[in-house]
Structure 1
Amino acid sequence: MMLLWLAFAMLLLPALWLLILPLRRATAVAAAQRDVEANDRTAEQNVAIYQRRLASLEAARDRGDIDDARFEEDRLELERSLLEDTERLRRAPLKAAGAGKRLVPVVMVLVVIASVAWYRLEGAEGDLALYAVQQEVMSDPEASLPELIRRLEAQAARQPENPKVWRALFPLYRDSGRVAEADATLTRLLELEGRQPWLLAELAQLRYFAAGRKLTPEVQALVDETLAEAPGEPTVLGLLGIEAFEQGDYEAAIDHWRRAIAGMQDPNAAEALRQGIRVAQQRLGVSPEAAESGAGLRVEVRLAPELEGRVPDTTTVFVVARDMAGELPPLAVTRVTVGELPLTVTLDDGDAMAPMARLSQVEQARLVVRVSPSGQATPQPGDLMGRRDAVPVGEADGEPAQVMIDRVVE
């Protein structure tokens, strides 16, 4: 943290120098202005012009071109014009070159105070303190999980409005079995960040297991609220799969878990759900090998050159196979990232989202590939998309069908 403040001080030095710079130049500027005013001959030129015009008026009167009344009128106009020109040339006396220099230190102090106050209000000092604590504990070979939790709890007391502190505490409470503290942490996060679907899903899962794997009315309300905002939220779908499995509804469990895998980013969690799917298939009397063999599609996905660089490499790409009539749920779904393209993926019955809709049920499929910056399974404006219709479904090791991502969803 000391290095940070030293860096801020180094940045403030040029700003303070710019405040002092006008004073250093003030003497030279004042001398130049005095020279300009001393050598100014504008007033003399105005008087000479007045005298020439007055002489012309007198000559015109003597020749009889104008009468005395017209002469007096024009002479008064000349005098008025001369007075106005002279008035405009009047200058206020120059102040001393050092005038106002006492105000500069005051302004410098105010700049420093305002900068520090602004950073404390809008800066990331709290995040840096949190990061420093985490790095310090992790680099200590004698540090322990309770020590990390204690240090983070101290940070939570110092900066209770920082959601990142509570985000760091939640998994530590959860994984160490401190359910009440984990629940309170999620509740605090909901207060700070609003009722976001992923927070509601985590709270629903925590209370589901705390209730002994029972879908209580309180947990059901959280599940319903989450699905209303994010129908593909993987944590809640995984929870519903567990509940269906516990109730012996293995087809529903498989359906929920496959949908959860489609929106899941953690490969370890996805593999755990695949294991659960295999167990559910065995309970149904279907061997996993039989369920995942047979008809399939190999899909070669490419991004059009004109769209390259439009989204980060970590952006999610959904590869989806659907029936030609569009009457069934997706027959197969897999998820990759833009950085992996170009890529050839294999879709088969193991990638189905529901037991009643699988690739082996159709002879032709429609392939839809969508790049989703939001990571949502439902299309959003700005998504990139590619499509290919009437692709024959054959052996999973057949020739790949090429799909080019070449247009933007409006």
Structure 2
Amino acid sequence: MTALWLTVVVLIALALALVLAPLFKAHDAIGTTQQALARRVYAEQLAQLAHDQDAQALDPADRAQAVDDLQRQLLDEASRPSAPTRPEKPWMGWGVALVLSLALPAAALLLYQQVGDPRAAAALAAAPAGSHERAGQDLQQLVAALAARLQAQPADVEGWTMLARSYEVLQRYDDAVLAYRKAIELAPGQPQLLADYADALGSARKGDLGGPAQEAIDAALAVDSQHPKALALAGMAAYQRGDAALARARWQAVRELMPPDSEARRSIEANLAHLDAPPAPSRPSPAAHISGTVSIAPELRNRVAPQATVFVLARATSAGPMPVAVLRLSAKDLPARFVLDDSVAMTPERPLSRFSSVIVEVRVSASGQAASQPGDLYGVVRDVTLGQDGISLLASEQEK
């Protein structure tokens, strides 16, 4: 990445040199007078007369008359008062040079940020669920273009990192894991990459931070024992194993690294408060669930392969676009009864029972990915109250 920016700086310097040099030279030419211009014109026309005579296009008598006329014109110009051909304002060249020196690099940077930065894919990927119809197809094309570019330029570690994060926002966690592995191969021992890789592994395994995710967390902390994300994930991994003491130590350590009024610190404090809360009952409250039947509209049924994946999702408007609970079914089993509760929560710190009202969505995906894809079937039921039964969830719309 450093080499890229050095190249950009050199190219901008060369461009400035080419643009500014004539402005600085213009100051040296200010003293040009009308007499000097007349002498130059006289010399050029005299040379042209000699050329015409040599080419036998002009006889000697005519040439002599023409030379005589030119000499009279030159003497007439020499008798006039000397006047500069342009006002002496050297500051104008320097002023224009200063403006260009500032504007050209700034314009180049702004243009790069808009169309050259792979982060654009990640930024577009953060659109909420309600914008699927507007931007889903464009987003898929951007991410696909970035993936194709990386196949041709596989040594771009930042590109692989941006691709992985884009996949995460699209909930394509298996693809995110592969992209992070590519980035780590190119830049081993980077704690941020290792922590992000562990997070993606956990998401791909429905929140489980054991096994390879734990190994990545340990590797990140071995490089930087105070890395905030690695510490937070280590606390969650310990909590999942039932090691409350280690979870507390990890979360207390990361809390001290967070700004006092930050959202991240409040989240860590909520986790610590959860550790201090009385033990939860071994079985969730009967009201802490949502149930109903899910099916595909009859007129669309023949468009769905039996092996297509069916996702039943619960989203809370206060928790952003990420689902709080996900249930995976198969199209061949529909219609089917479903139950969403804390056992299918995306993360333990955000159980379904925390939210009083949610949006329930069904998505039939041929690709097996929960993120919106053109051709997917979907259906939504809004304002579902926790504890509500008998919901009829119908996949009756198709993504464009």
Question: What range is the shorter-chain TM-score in?
Answer: 0.3 to 0.5
TM-score w.r.t. length of structure 1: 0.36
Greater C-alpha Rg: 1
Higher relative contact order structure (alpha carbons within 8 Å, sequence separation ≥ 6): 2
Q: What TM-score comes out, normalization by structure 2 length?
A: 0.37
